[in-house]
């Protein structure tokens, strides 16, 4: 029997709602920056901005884990947050994704975070369930694109794919924290 209760208690702290809105805005700006960047240094700078934004997403998901009443929901949110931290560390250490091993670990952590969000949407009926599905599906698609289509001719397609994943995650967080309509 499915549980119809919310995956998390409502977040009462406005700070986390504002962080989620900021993340979505940063994701859109980064997407435009990646599309317009013409120099190598602009691309690297945008990747490091993406790293900082992914760490904010990890913090917001860890906060979601802290507000969950159910142990399974808490573990799934925490798994998604840990996956974001691993992604940020990999991109910080190797922004060009030059090594095959680091690229595969990045793809694996993207897939793990996406799987956690999909599982959360499947097992429970949380607030913003549709956004969790969308975020999980985009995350899986990005993980497969990076895992199977590597090496790209340049780092730009990978960075754009990661930004697309971040945009999906931040939109989901905006919805879960109550700033956007439920899908």
The band of 34, judged by pLDDT with boundaries at 50, 70 and 90, is low
Out of 3-17, 26-40, 55-69, 156-170, least confident range: 3-17
pLDDT in tens, 120-170: 888 876 666 788 888 888 888 888 888 887 655 566 677 777 777 777 777
At a CB cut-off of 8 Å and minimum separation 6, what does 104 contact? 147, 150
Residue with more model confidence, 107 or 9: 107
- For the whole model, what pTM was predicted? 0.75
pLDDT in tens, 43-65: 787 788 888 888 888 888 888 88
CA dist 141 to 136, 144, 168, Å? 9, 5, 12
Cα–Cα distance, 7 to 75 (Å, whole number): 11
Residue with more model confidence, 103 or 12: 103
Instruction: Identify the three-state secondary structure at position 7.
Output: coil
The domains of the chain are located at: 14-176
Instruction: Identify the three-state secondary structure at position 132.
Output: helix
What mean pLDDT comes out for the span 66-82?
A: 88
Q: Is 23 exposed, middle or buried (0-12, 13-18, 19+ CB in 10 A)?
A: buried
The band of 83, judged by pLDDT with boundaries at 50, 70 and 90, is very high
Cβ count within 10 A of residue 164:
19
At a CB cut-off of 8 Å and minimum separation 6, what does 30 contact? 46, 49, 50, 53, 163, 166
The pLDDT value given to residue 7: 45
Residue 57 dihedral angles phi and psi, to the nearest 5°: -65, -40
The pLDDT value given to residue 126: 63
Residue with more model confidence, 14 or 56: 56
Cα–Cα distance, 86 to 90 (Å, whole number): 6
Residue with more model confidence, 120 or 182: 120
CA dist 130 to 8, 51, 101, 183, Å? 15, 26, 33, 5
Residue 138 dihedral angles phi and psi, to the nearest 5°: -65, -40
Q: Percent of the chain having pLDDT more than 90? A: 9
The closest alpha carbon to 143, from 180, 182, 92, 90, belongs to: 90
The pLDDT value given to residue 115: 93
């Amino acid at each position: 029997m499915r549980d119809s209760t919310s995956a998390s208690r409502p977040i009462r702290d406005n700070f986390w709602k504002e962080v989620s809105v900021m993340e979505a805005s940063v994701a859109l700006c980064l997407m435009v920056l990646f599309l317009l960047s013409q120099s190598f240094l602009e691309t690297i700078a945008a990747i490091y901005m993406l790293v900082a934004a992914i760490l904010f997403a990890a913090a917001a998901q860890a906060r979601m884990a802290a507000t969950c009443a159910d142990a399974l929901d808490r573990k799934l949110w925490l798994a998604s947050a840990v996956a974001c931290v691993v992604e940020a560390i990999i991109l910080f250490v190797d922004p060009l994704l030059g090594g095959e091993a680091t690229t595969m670990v990045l793809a694996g952590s993207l897939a793990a975070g996406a799987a956690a969000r999909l599982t959360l949407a499947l097992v429970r009926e949380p607030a913003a369930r549709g956004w969790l599905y969308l975020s999980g599906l985009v995350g899986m698609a990005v993980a497969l694109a990076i895992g199977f289509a590597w090496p790209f001719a340049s780092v730009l397609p990978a960075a754009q794919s990661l930004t697309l994943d971040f945009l999906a995650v931040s939109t989901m967080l905006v919805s879960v924290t109550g700033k956007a309509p439920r899908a």
